[in-house]
Structure 1
Amino acid sequence: MSHRGRWLAGACASTVAAGLLVTGGALAPPPHQVFPRDAAPAVAVGAYLHYGSPGVERMRDFSRWLGGTELRAGHTYLPGDTWANIEGAPESLRSWAQWRRARADRMFVLNVPMLEHNEAGVPDEQVAELIRAGARGEYDHHFRRLAKRLVALGVPDTVLVLGWEMNGFNYTHRCRPDPENWQRYWRRIVAAMRSVKGQRFRFDFAPNRGGDAIAWTRCYPGDDVVDVIGMDSYDQPPGDTFDEQIRQPYGLQQQVDFAKAHGKRISYPEWGLFRNGDNPDYMRRMLAWFSQHRPLYHSITDYCPHGVWQCEQNPRSAEVFRDSLSPAQGNHGPPYSGSVRGERRLRLGE
C-alpha cells in the first residue's frame, strides 16, 4: 500500500485514530511456545490513524467509539523521502514518545524505510545498486542516528517494522532486484541499531500477503535479526475469498507456519477492507483469525476505503469491528482487548 496515500489520507476527514496494545519487550522474544487458553498472550489491537501528532490525539476518540476499549500502543511511519526523515527528524516523534512514556504497558510501533526516495519510482537497476551500497555499510550511520534519537526520546523498546512490503513492486526498499544483498543490508541495519547503548528494539519483518513480486521467504534475513514475522493483508487479490487468502502460497497460513518454525510471534501491521467494499464477512473472519492465532498486534488501516471508524462507506463492517472489540461492561482485561461476548463469537465463527 502506498505510504504517500497514508500521508495524504492523514490530512483528510476520513483518517482515523487508534493504537495497538502490547507491552514493550526485550531485545528478542522467547522461543515459540504453545499457550493454554487462560495463559494466552495479549493481542495488540489498533489502527493506523495519522503519521503525525494528530494520530496521538485521535486515539482517545477511537477508544470512545469502541466503547472505552483501552488502546495501549501507537503506530506511525517515518517518511521515506529523505535520509533526514528516516533518521527520525519529524517533530511528531516527540508526541509519540511522550504518549508511550505515559504508561508502562504501552508500545510504540514505527515503520522505517530502508532507503530514501522510497516512493519515487526508482528503476530496478538503481535499486539493486542502492541495496548493494547498503550491504557494504554505506548507510549504517543513518540508522545509528535513528536508534540514538529513539533512545534519547525514551522509547528504546520501539517495535521497528523495517522495510515493510519488501516483496512488492513499488518501494525503493523492495527486495526483488537483489535478494541476497537485501538480506545483508537488513542485517547491517539491525547491527547498527543494536550497537546503540540502551536500545531494546524488536524488528518486524512484514511482507505483503501472497507471492507479489517475489516470494517473501527469499527475502528473510535470518532468525537472529528478526523478532516478529508480520504480514500486510487487505481484502483484495490474490485470494478472492478469505479461505483462499489463508491457503494461497505465501498467504496467511504459511506466515503462521513459518513463524512457528522459526520461533517467532506474528503481527499484522496493516490490514483492512479494499477491493470487495463493505465486507462484514471478511471483517468477521479476519478478527476470528486474530483470535485463533494470537498475533503480537494487529493494526487496521483506518481511512477510506480500508477503515471502519470515520470511513462511512463501510457501515456493516464497522458494526462487526466495534461489536467484536468493544469491552463488555466492566471487562477490560487480557487476553484480548474486547468483550467476552465478542471473543466467543470470534472463536466460534458466529
Structure 2
Amino acid sequence: MRFGRLALAASALLLLTTASVPSGTPLSQTPRHDVFSADTAEDGRRGAAPKPAVLRPPHEVPFGAFVGSWDTYIPQIAKLSTWLRNADLQVGHTYLAGNGWADVEGENQVLGLWSQWRLRDPARTLVLGVPMLVPNEGNLSDGQVAALLARGTKGEFDQHFLKLARKLVAFGGGDTVLTLGWEMNGTTYSSRCRPDPAAWKAYWRRIVTVMRSVPGQHFRFDFTPTRGLDAIPWTRCYPGDDVVDIIGMDAYDMPAGASFEEMVTEPYGLQDQVEFAARRGKPVSYPEWGLFRNGDNPEYVRRMIEWMRTHDTAYQTVTDYCPHGFWGCDRNPRSAAVFRQLMSGSKGAPGGVSSRAPARR
C-alpha cells in the first residue's frame, strides 16, 4: 500500500554490460469453509488433513521499516535504531519504481547504495519490491493489464528481469528477498492478478525462472498479497511451491471498526495465511504493516507484534510514515510508545532472515 511513485536518482554508480535473452480490504462475508477452494483443487488435501501446527514459542523476528524512498531512507535506519535504544534493524526495505522498464531494471546508484548497507553485516537482508508490469501505478484497465500479462508470458519482458538479477548479483545483493508484484490480489497496481489469474501465475513463474538463471544468485521470492479477500482470493494467484520461498501478507489496521480477532479469522486473513504456508513448509512475512483506518491503536500494534513473534515469521517491516507508522509519524503517540517498548533493544534473530527462510537453489 505504497502511495505515489518513488523518485530515483539518475546518476550511475557503475556501468554494467548486460545481455538480453531470446487496497482496501473489506471483511468478506465468504463462508470460512469455502476459503481454500482453490487450494483444495490444487492439492486435494484440504478438509482431509488436520490443521498444521503454526504456533511457535515466542521468538525474535528480523525486522526493519520502510520510511521513504531510497535517497533518504538508508541514513534513517541508524536514527530509527537509536530511537529503539540501539535495536538491530536487520532488514532494509525499499521498492523499484514502476514508471518504465528502466526502473524495473534497477538504478545502479540505488542498488549500489543498498548493497553497501547490506554487505556491512552478514545478518542483514534487503527486501526489494519489484513491479511485474509498467506503468505500475498507471490506472490501467483490466483489459490493458490482461494484454500485458499475455505478452509477459511469451517472454517479451524477460530481458528487464535478467538485467535486474545480474545487477543485484554484481553489487552483492544476490540473496535479496523480492516481493514480486506485491498486493496482486488488489486493484492499486498494474501488477495485479484479477484480470487473468492463469496468465499472472505463468508470468510470475517465467520471471522467477529468468532471475534464477543468473550465476551467483540466491534470491528468495516472497508472494505478498494484501490481507483478506480484496479483489480476488489470493489463493487463486498462488503460482506454485517451486517458485515461492516466503508467503507474505501486507496487513494494515483496517477496515474501520475491525478487531484484531477479525483480522485473524476473516477469510484469507492471518490464520489462513499461516496455515497455507505451514502446509507448504514455508515461513510467512509481513513486508508492510501499520496503522490505517482505526487511528492511534496500540492494541493492534501489541497484537500484531505478538502474532509475528509466535508464528514462523521470516521478517517484518513496518510502514513508518503517516498515517501508518510510529517513529516517523507524530499522530500515533500511544501506538508509538507500545512499539518502542516492545522493539527497543531487539537484536533480531541470530543469522537474520537467512536463518528463517533458506534460499531455494
Normalised by the shorter chain, which TM-score bucket? Answer: 0.7 to 0.9
Kept in 2, the 8 Å contact 1:203–1:225? The answer is yes
Q: TM-score, normalised by structure 1?
A: 0.84
The answer to whether structure 1 residue 207 and structure 2 residue 225 are counterparts is yes
Partner of 1:268: 286
Partner of 1:171: 189
Whichever residue aligns with residue 313 of structure 2, its letter is P
Shift of 1:101: 0.8
Alignment counterpart, residue 106 of structure 2, candidates 60, 72, 88: 88
Shift of 1:49: 1.6
The answer to whether structure 1 residue 67 and structure 2 residue 62 are counterparts is no
Kept in 2, the 8 Å contact 1:239–1:245? The answer is no
Alignment counterpart, residue 162 of structure 2, candidates 144, 147, 160: 144
Deviation string 1:240-272 (CA, Å, 9 cap, x unpaired) is 111001000000000000000111110000000
Whichever residue aligns with residue 4 of structure 1, its letter is G
The answer to whether structure 1 residue 227 and structure 2 residue 245 are counterparts is yes
Shift of 1:147: 0.1
Kept in 2, the 8 Å contact 1:7–1:50? The answer is no
Partner of 1:245: 263
The answer to whether structure 1 residue 125 and structure 2 residue 147 are counterparts is no
Partner of 2:212: 194
Deviation string 1:200-243 (CA, Å, 9 cap, x unpaired) is 00000000000000000000000000000000010012871110
Alpha-carbon distance between aligned partners in 2 of 1:36 and 1:173, rounded to the nearest angstrom: 34
Alpha-carbon distance between aligned partners in 1 of 2:56 and 2:272, rounded to the nearest angstrom: 23
Alpha-carbon distance between aligned partners in 2 of 1:262 and 1:171, rounded to the nearest angstrom: 27
Alignment counterpart, residue 185 of structure 1, candidates 188, 193, 203: 203
Kept in 1, the 8 Å contact 2:55–2:312? The answer is no
Partner of 2:4: 4
Q: 1:312 to 1:80 in 2, by over 3 A?
A: same
Give me the identity figure in percent.
Answer: 54
Whichever residue aligns with residue 176 of structure 2, its letter is T
Kept in 1, the 8 Å contact 2:123–2:351? The answer is no
Kept in 1, the 8 Å contact 2:88–2:348? The answer is no
SS in 1 for 2:127: strand
The answer to whether structure 1 residue 259 and structure 2 residue 253 are counterparts is no
Partner of 1:106: 124
Deviation string 1:262-286 (CA, Å, 9 cap, x unpaired) is 1111000000001100001111111
Q: TM-score, normalised by structure 2?
A: 0.81
Q: 1:318 to 1:78 in 2, by over 3 A?
A: same
Structure 2: give runs of 5+ residues left out of the alignment.
9-51, 353-361
Alpha-carbon distance between aligned partners in 1 of 2:114 and 2:337, rounded to the nearest angstrom: 29
Kept in 1, the 8 Å contact 2:283–2:313? The answer is yes
Alignment of 1:304-319 (within 5 A): 304-319=322-337
Whichever residue aligns with residue 138 of structure 2, its letter is A
Alignment of 1:321-340 (within 5 A): 321-327=339-345, 332=347, 334=349
Kept in 2, the 8 Å contact 1:43–1:335? The answer is no
Alpha-carbon distance between aligned partners in 1 of 2:351 and 2:312, rounded to the nearest angstrom: 9
Alignment counterpart, residue 64 of structure 2, candidates 36, 39, 46: 46
Alpha-carbon distance between aligned partners in 1 of 2:188 and 2:328, rounded to the nearest angstrom: 28
Kept in 1, the 8 Å contact 2:56–2:310? The answer is no
Shift of 1:43: 1.1
Structure 1: give runs of 5+ residues left out of the alignment.
9-31, 338-350
Name which structure has the greater RCO, CA cutoff 8 Å, separation 6+.
2
Alignment length (residue pairs):
309
Kept in 1, the 8 Å contact 2:321–2:329? The answer is yes
SS in 1 for 2:310: helix
Q: 1:244 to 1:48 in 2, by over 3 A?
A: same
Alpha-carbon distance between aligned partners in 1 of 2:226 and 2:181, rounded to the nearest angstrom: 11
